[in-house]
Each structure stands twice: as C-alpha cells, then as structure tokens.
C-alpha cells in the first residue's frame, strides 16, 4: 500500500529515512530502548557508585587483651576511613557468625596478654580474618586493616628503638630501610569509579544497540513484504540498509553523547585523549552492533530467536572484553571470543583516549580492528540479504506478489 501511495516519489535514501522515523514514532518500544531506558540504567549505575570508593566498611574486633595498648590499636583501626569497628565479639565463633550473616567483612583478633608480651619482647601475633569471597571488598578491608596494624606496630618499634638509646631521627629512618615510592599510572586520582563507569556505559549500550536493531529488523521481516518494500523505497540495497539503520545510529550516538557529557562533565571523570578519535570509534562501535543485530534478525527464525541470539552475544560480554580482569590472564577460548567482539576493541580505544590519555597512535591498531569487524559483519549482512532475495524470487507465488 505504501508503495502505491509513494509511487510518484523517486525512490532513494530520504524515502526510507522518512518511513523509518514515522515507524519509530508509532512503536513506543523503540524510543524507549534507544533513549529513555539506557539513560535510566546509566543513572542507576551512577547512583550505585556515586559515593566513590567504599568507606567505613564494617569490621568486628575480638579484644582478648583489654589493655591500654589494645584499645589504642582498636582506635587506630576505627580511625581509618576505609573501615569502621561496628561490632565487638567475645570469641571467634561470634565473629564468624557475624561474617556469615553478612554484617561484617573482617574480624580482628587481638590476643590475650598482648601488651605484656609486646613490652617483654615476646612478639605476640595479631590475626585478621577477612571475607575474600567478596573479592573487591575483601581487598579493600584487608589492606586497610594491614595498614592500620602496621602503623600501630611502627609506633611500638619506634618506642623500642628510643629505649635502645637511638635518637628519634635515626630511629625513624631505621624503621623502613627500603621505602617504596608508589606511583599509580593512568589513574592519578586512584578513583576506580571512573574506570567502572567509563567501561560500563558502552557494555550496557551494546546490549541496547544490538537487541533494538535485531527487534526492528525482525519486525520488517515478520511482515511478508517488509524487506521488499524497503528495497523498493530505497531503489537499491545500499540506500535501503543505510536508511533503515541511520536513525538508530544517530539516536544511540545522542544517548552515548549525553551519558558521556554527564560522565566527563558533571561527574568530573578525567578526559585526556583525542575526542575526534573517540567520536570515530563511537560511530564504528554503534554501527557494528547495529549490523550484528540486523544479521541476527535476518538469520533468526522469528523475533524471539533474533533477540535470543543478540542476548547471548551481548549480555555476558562484560567478562570477555577484559574490563574487570585483563584478557591476557584468561584461557584461549575467552581470549579469542573477546577479540571477536567489537566492544572489546572499542573499550580499549575508549579507555586509552579518555582516562589513560595515550597518544592517538597507540589506538590506531585497535581502531583498525574495530573497522575490520564492522566490515566483516556488513559483508555477512549483505550476503544474507541477497540470499534471502534469491530464495524469495525462487518461490513463484511470492515473486508474483512483488510484481503486483
């Protein structure tokens, strides 16, 4: 019907574009999935991490000594901004129970006779038990407790040296014969929230791009003549594909732009790279996932299956693209799989050109890999479209429909 209504207009890109925009307005799911919902998800993620690195994580103390020294040690632990002494327990079983109930992340055991043994040089051992099942939290808590107890010990060692007759400045130097000067690279503020959010935005967005594209193209396929109408309106395969996908490319670019503006503007994430290179990578990344989604729609039996393919590819990719842990530490299957995901290459460029602030030349190889993946998926999509057309023309009654 649409063909006849538009019969007088010359087929071309603008016709397909206009049809797509009308179409997007009619289907509520599409504007929600391209603009509103992704921004809402990013807002939730930003809220989860908005307080910065966790502080005052609850720990329990088992003080079997109850002397001035043990109370001083507990005070030093509590003074650390990373942890807070939330509970006192009478035995280790009580501490273990609090940990199993999820109410504390560590138990510090100060042994009986600590003060007496320290002064008589018997070297009593203080023990920290921490919950390493929650790896990130465990790492924060164990380091904070190790530092606090280390400071307490340094104070005791200092006092012992003064008693030996050393002068205070010499004693201070003697306490750490090999000081380590630590320089964090690429992350001078040591704020991991920046890294997490910079990585999470595209990881979530690739799911949105791929499933929305799969959904939209598979609806085209569901109506018997959808694809035929598209290619007639476009007057060829290329304008039909471009006109179908371009509105979504722009919509997702806006979504990515808005979230990055908030991330690098309002949230103060350092941006130290080349924005033109990043923008180019943004476009290639969005196009790649649109093409993958389109390909799934053309392969899948129905919309549900197309969405299933898109989900299986994109939803678990956070681990495969080596954001939380470098891919070099993985086995060979996840490494190869990760290399096949456009998001992995895009993520490298994104981190290099924002937080790390590397010279653009370091990112060109990754950009080439991203462009290659896009070219391969585009080629596969075009081949699939051609084979679908051949199959349709081979079926007489459908060929008839096209003619009329």
Partner 1 sequence: MRALLAGFCGEFKRILGDEGARTTMIAAVLIYAVFYPQPYLKEAVRKVPVVVVDQDHSTASRELIRRIDASDGAAVIAAAQDLSTARSHILAGRAFAIIVIPTDFERDILAGRPSPIAAYGDAGYFLVYRAAVGAISTAARSAGAEIAIHRLSIQQGVDSATARAIVDPMPVTIVPLFNPQGGYATYVVPTAFVLILQQTLLMGIGILGPARPQTAGRQTLGGLATGMLARVLAFVTLYIPFAVLYLVIMPHLYHLPRLGAVGDLLMVMALFLFAVSCLGLTLAALMPSGESVILMLVVLGLPLFFLSGVSWPSESMPKLLSMLAQCIPAIPAMNATVRIGQMGASLADVSPELRTLAIDAGAYALAALICQSVRDTIEP
Contacts of partner 1 in 23-82 (CB under 8 A):
29, 33, 37-38, 41, 44-45, 47-51, 54-58
Ordered DSSP codes for 218-281: HHHHHSTTHHHHHHHHHTSHHHHHHHHHHHHHHHHHHHHHHHHHIIIIIT-----S-HHHHHHH
Smaller CB separation from partner 1, 154 or 375: 154
- Sheet arrangement for strand 83-88: 83-88, 57-63, 106-110
Smaller CB separation from partner 1, 1 or 47: 47
Distance (Å, rounded) from C-alpha 74 to C-alpha 62?
Answer: 10
Distance (Å, rounded) from C-alpha 77 to C-alpha 241?
Answer: 62
CA–centroid distance for 62 within its chain: 38
Closest separation in Å from C-beta 57 to partner 1: 6
369 touches partner 1 (CB under 8 A): no
Closest separation in Å from C-beta 15 to partner 1: 27
Angle, alpha carbons 144-160-121 (nearest 5°):
85
Q: Scan residues 234-293 and list those touching partner 1 (CB under 8 A).
A: none
Closest separation in Å from C-beta 5 to partner 1: 27
133 touches partner 1 (CB under 8 A): yes
* Binding flags for partner 1, 2-21, as an x/- string (CB under 8 A): --------------------
Maximum C-alpha span of the chain:
106
Closest separation in Å from C-beta 35 to partner 1: 13
Smaller CB separation from partner 1, 44 or 393: 44
Contacts of 13 (CB under 8 A, 6+ apart): 234, 239, 242, 243
Closest separation in Å from C-beta 125 to partner 1: 5
Closest separation in Å from C-beta 28 to partner 1: 9
**Three-state DSSP state, 133:** coil
Q: Which helix (H) or strand (E) holds 85?
A: strand 83-88
Q: What is the 3-state secondary structure (H, E, C) of 267-334?
A: CCCCCCCCHHHHHHHHHHHHHHHHHHHHHHHHHCCCHHHHHHHHHHHHCCHHHHCCCCCCHHHCCHHH
- The one segment of 117-125, 228-236, 250-258, 277-285 that binds partner 1 by CB under 8 A: 117-125
User: Residue from 34, 80, 131, 269 that binds partner 1 (CB under 8 A)?
Assistant: 131
Smaller CB separation from partner 1, 179 or 396: 179
Closest separation in Å from C-beta 247 to partner 1: 18
Smaller CB separation from partner 1, 161 or 389: 161
* Binding flags for partner 1, 336-365, as an x/- string (CB under 8 A): -xx------------x---xx-x---x---
Q: Scan residues 307-336 and list those touching partner 1 (CB under 8 A).
A: 307-308, 310-312, 314-316, 318-320, 322, 324-331, 333-334
Q: Scan residues 140-179 and list those touching partner 1 (CB under 8 A).
A: 142-143, 145-146, 149-150, 152-153, 156-157, 160-161, 164, 173-179
Smaller CB separation from partner 1, 152 or 287: 152
Closest separation in Å from C-beta 288 to partner 1: 18
Alpha-carbon torsion (298, 300, 304, 307), positive or negative: negative
Distance (Å, rounded) from C-alpha 141 to C-alpha 130?
Answer: 7
Smaller CB separation from partner 1, 52 or 236: 52
394 touches partner 1 (CB under 8 A): no
CB atoms within 10 A of CB 187: 13
Smaller CB separation from partner 1, 76 or 371: 76
Closest separation in Å from C-beta 263 to partner 1: 16
DSSP state of 67: S
Q: Which helix (H) or strand (E) holds 197?
A: helix 192-222
Closest separation in Å from C-beta 244 to partner 1: 18
Task: With CB under 8 A as the rule, give the number of residues binding partner 1.
Answer: 117
């Amino acid at each position: 019907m649409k063909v006849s209504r538009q019969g007088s207009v010359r087929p071309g890109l603008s016709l397909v574009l206009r049809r797509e925009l009308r179409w997007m307005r009619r289907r509520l799911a599409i504007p929600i999935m391209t603009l509103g919902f992704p921004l809402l998800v990013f807002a939730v993620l930003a809220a989860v991490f908005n307080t910065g690195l966790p502080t005052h994580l609850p720990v329990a103390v088992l003080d079997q000594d109850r002397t001035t020294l043990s109370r001083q040690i507990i005070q030093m632990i509590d003074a650390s901004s990373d942890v807070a002494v939330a509970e006192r327990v009478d035995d280790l079983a009580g501490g273990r129970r609090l940990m199993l109930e999820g109410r504390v992340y560590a138990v510090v055991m100060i042994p009986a006779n600590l003060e007496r043994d320290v002064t008589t040089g018997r070297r009593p051992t203080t023990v920290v038990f921490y919950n390493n099942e929650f790896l990130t939290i465990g790492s924060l808590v164990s380091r904070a407790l190790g530092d606090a107890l280390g400071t307490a010990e340094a104070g005791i060692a200092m006092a012992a040296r003064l008693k030996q007759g050393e002068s205070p400045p010499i004693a201070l130097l003697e306490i750490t014969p090999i000081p380590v000067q630590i320089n964090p690279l690429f992350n001078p503020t040591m704020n991991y929230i920046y890294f997490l959010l910079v990585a999470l935005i595209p990881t979530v967005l690739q799911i949105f791009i791929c499933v929305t594209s799969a959904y939209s193209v598979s609806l085209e396929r569901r109506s018997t003549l959808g694809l035929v109408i598209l290619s007639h309106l476009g007057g060829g395969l290329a304008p039909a594909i471009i006109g179908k996908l371009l509105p979504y490319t722009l919509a997702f670019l806006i979504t990515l732009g808005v979230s990055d503006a908030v991330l690098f503007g309002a949230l103060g994430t350092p941006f130290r790279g080349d924005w033109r290179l990043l923008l180019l990578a943004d476009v290639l990344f969005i196009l790649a996932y649109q093409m993958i989604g389109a390909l799934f729609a053309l392969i899948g039996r129905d919309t549900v299956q197309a969405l299933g393919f898109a989900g299986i590819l994109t939803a678990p990719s956070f681990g495969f693209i080596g954001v939380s842990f470098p891919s070099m530490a993985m086995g060979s299957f996840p490494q190869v799989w990760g290399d096949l995901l456009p998001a992995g290459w895009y993520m490298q460029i994104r981190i290099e050109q924002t937080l790390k602030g590397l010279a653009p030349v370091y990112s060109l190889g990754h950009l080439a890999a991203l462009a290659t993946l896009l070219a391969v998926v585009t080629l596969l999509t075009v081949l699939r479209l051609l084979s679908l057309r051949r199959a349709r023309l081979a079926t007489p009654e459908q060929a008839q429909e096209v003619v009329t």
